[in-house]
Structure 1
Amino acid sequence: MSRTPINELTDGMTLGQSFQAADKQLRVNRQGGKYILLKLSDRTGTIAAMMWNADEAVFDRFDRGDFIHCQGRTQVHNGALQIIVTDIERMDSGEVSADDFERFDAQQVQRNVTRLKELLATVSQPWLGRLAEAYLSDEEFVAGFSQAAAAVSNHHAFPGGLLEHTVNMMELVRLIAPRYSELDTDLLMMGAFLHDLGKIDELKSSGEISYTDRGQLIGHIVIGIQLLGTKIDQVEQITGEVFPATLRYHLEHLIVSHHGVLEYGSPKIPVTLEAVALHHIDNLDAKLASYTSIIERDIAADGNWTNYHPAIGRKLWKKS
């Protein structure tokens, strides 16, 4: 069954095709009428959808994560494309092509895993090298890391996105650190590797990306600190020696301060040069990925500028 990918939809299209129901909510409007608010997804992204004059019977036809066949049309609302759905029917997984919905790029992930190992191999400080090996020798950890997303929606929000974001940051460390002799390159490299590892358990990457119960209750910073403690314990058991306390504190500080400010969830603001650098490297890669995604998804008629996006407080210049 042919279908138009979400990233190729345009205003005014009549649709009759499959999507995956990423989310659904039954709501009541001011007049007391009921409607269904949807988030539909495929391999290329997500799109909001609305079904007016709906009821519980329609709402109960399908669950979150199900494949559904939607009849409707596209329209622009407040500068964003959405779908007005007129009919919904649940589909069996055998009725859709997995290639239309699978967002995991196994070949790219393998390339990123290989590069991750190469970058960690440049760490010459013995204790940090042993710590890196404790992570890489854990097959369950590597498998989870390979599948994890970096976010639900903001940046690198796809299976394998956390690994890509991490490798990008480590590549930036290789470029930036040699220009500042005051920086400890090995420490900064490990900070880039460790900073978001808690997201492996904070987010669920199979199906639609969402927060796990542990993620909601604890968050990736605390989970990352707990994981670091476990791996340090393993290194101590292997070596029979105590991991240097000051080095551990610096690694922990890199994790807890990488958001940069308290308002964004960091328990501590950066107070070491490596932590300051890590925060800005993280922010650079995340912002460029997020803004690039905005440009790619934009449907503004103006060829040079995107629509105004309230979340970032600006329009963006599109590539010529």
Structure 2
Amino acid sequence: MSRRFVNQLSHGDSIDESYLVADKQLRANRQGNLYLQLELRDKTGSVGARLWNATEELARTFEPGDFLRVRGKTQIFQGSLQIILTHVDVLDRNRVEPEDFLPQGSQNVARLMARLREILLAMHNPHLRALVECFLIDEEFVRKFTSAPAGIKNHHAYQGGLLEHVVTILDVADRILGLYPEVDRDLLLTGIFLHDVGKIEELSYDRAFAYTDEGQLVGHLVMGVEILAERVRATRDLTGEPFPPELLLRLKHMIVSHHGAYEFGSPKLPMTLEAIALHYLDNLDAKLHAFGREIRDDPSRDSTWTPFQQSIGRRLYKGTPAAATSDLEADS
């Protein structure tokens, strides 16, 4: 029997299915009774789940990254779909198909990598091109870069998401840079490529998406600067010259400032044209992707609005449902 994916669930469904545990919290209600709050995931998305009257013994039997067979029933609560669980069993991870559980991007990874190479290897600055080549000839780096998500929840949270995010920004920059001749094209393109490079080590993504210990303690901005500094030392072998200190300084600044504001984790504000451009291009792609996902994945098919989303501080207008639009057109 074919499995029921998360994006196929709707209000009132009876559930008997296997999912990956993306998050687990053991909580107590107002009466002091324990319950489990879970985030369950497959390749199509995630859904919240609760198991009432849980025990500490049960909670210790599995962790995020494990697989559960769950039974229960779906319901809409405060505008979001969730599963009220009645039973959970831990599954042997060797008896599941991993590709069913980690979210995948819709774009072809080989095609994305070909586009990334096309844009970056056409740069004219020999030092920046050599730097990029030092990354792209490293098979282990390429494996991680093409597998990593761009985030755990907020945007491009699927395998290959980091690559897709970077290539989208590169494509946008490639189309508009002719309008801004004062911006150093090669420097901006290299900064786009490297701005989130620390995420290949900040995140773990072999099973459930999570932060590594180093990712929690240091973060991808600092880790990105460290990775950059390591590769810069290797460019001398390709160019026969030391990497220009000014270029290195500007690239470091782009990495540490690309979040754009202190409250969003940037230790420095963007202070060069390329850093400012990077920040806004990065933010544009992240926001449009995240907002589009909220609209696309909203389980309330008949509503013209999404539920209020705390993370973005608003509801989003989805427009008139397609069926209703067709009825209106037929009546006109």
TM-score band, normalised by the shorter chain? over 0.9
Quickly say closer, same or farther: Cα 1:217–1:62, change in 2 above 3 A.
closer
TM-score (norm 2): 0.91
Quickly say closer, same or farther: Cα 1:56–1:204, change in 2 above 3 A.
same
Match of 2:101 in 1: 101
Alignment map for 1:20-99 (pairs within 5 Å) = 20-93=20-93, 95-99=95-99
Judge conservation of contact 1:258–1:270 (CA < 8 Å) in 2.
yes
Matched position secondary structure for 1:143 = helix
Quickly say closer, same or farther: Cα 1:160–1:83, change in 2 above 3 A.
same
Ranges in structure 1 where 5+ consecutive residues have no aligned partner: none
Match of 1:111 in 2: 111
Quickly say closer, same or farther: Cα 1:253–1:99, change in 2 above 3 A.
closer
- The question of 1:311 aligning with 2:311 is answered yes
Once the 2 structures are TM-superposed, how far is the Cα of residue 29 of structure 1 from its aligned partner? 1.6
Deviation readout 1:165-186 (Å, 9 max, x if unpaired): 0001100110111111111111
Judge conservation of contact 1:151–1:157 (CA < 8 Å) in 2.
yes
Matched position secondary structure for 2:122 = coil
Matched position secondary structure for 1:20 = strand
Counterpart-to-counterpart distance in 1, 2:84 and 2:252: 48
Identity of aligned residues (%): 46
TM-score (norm 1): 0.95
Once the 2 structures are TM-superposed, how far is the Cα of residue 6 of structure 1 from its aligned partner? 0.5
Counterpart-to-counterpart distance in 2, 1:216 and 1:193: 23
| Letter paired with 2:236 | E
Judge conservation of contact 1:259–1:265 (CA < 8 Å) in 2.
yes
Once the 2 structures are TM-superposed, how far is the Cα of residue 310 of structure 1 from its aligned partner? 2.2
Once the 2 structures are TM-superposed, how far is the Cα of residue 276 of structure 1 from its aligned partner? 0.9
Match of 1:7 in 2: 7
Counterpart-to-counterpart distance in 1, 2:292 and 2:106: 22
Alignment map for 1:116-135 (pairs within 5 Å) = 116-135=116-135
What is the Cα-based RMSD across aligned positions, in Å? 1.8
Judge conservation of contact 1:124–1:186 (CA < 8 Å) in 2.
yes
Quickly say closer, same or farther: Cα 1:116–1:3, change in 2 above 3 A.
same
Deviation readout 1:25-57 (Å, 9 max, x if unpaired): 222222121111111111111111000011133
Counterpart-to-counterpart distance in 1, 2:142 and 2:40: 30
Ranges in structure 2 where 5+ consecutive residues have no aligned partner: 323-332
- The question of 1:211 aligning with 2:211 is answered yes
| Letter paired with 1:267 | P
Judge conservation of contact 2:105–2:161 (CA < 8 Å) in 1.
no
| Letter paired with 1:303 | S
Match of 2:229 in 1: 229
Judge conservation of contact 2:127–2:239 (CA < 8 Å) in 1.
no
Deviation readout 1:29-88 (Å, 9 max, x if unpaired): 221211111111111111110000111333234333222111101111111111100001
Matched position secondary structure for 1:234 = coil
Counterpart-to-counterpart distance in 2, 1:194 and 1:301: 39
Judge conservation of contact 2:14–2:74 (CA < 8 Å) in 1.
yes
Judge conservation of contact 1:19–1:69 (CA < 8 Å) in 2.
yes
Once the 2 structures are TM-superposed, how far is the Cα of residue 106 of structure 1 from its aligned partner? 10
Judge conservation of contact 1:299–1:307 (CA < 8 Å) in 2.
no
Matched position secondary structure for 1:221 = helix
Quickly say closer, same or farther: Cα 1:159–1:99, change in 2 above 3 A.
closer
Matched position secondary structure for 2:132 = helix
- The question of 1:151 aligning with 2:151 is answered yes
Counterpart-to-counterpart distance in 2, 1:272 and 1:200: 26
| Letter paired with 2:256 | V
Match of 1:283 in 2: 283
Q: Which sits farther off after the overlay, 298-307 or 28-37?
A: 298-307
Q: Which sits farther off after the overlay, 25-34 or 36-45?
A: 25-34
Judge conservation of contact 2:254–2:274 (CA < 8 Å) in 1.
yes
Counterpart-to-counterpart distance in 1, 2:106 and 2:138: 19
Counterpart-to-counterpart distance in 2, 1:316 and 1:104: 25
Counterpart-to-counterpart distance in 2, 1:315 and 1:36: 28
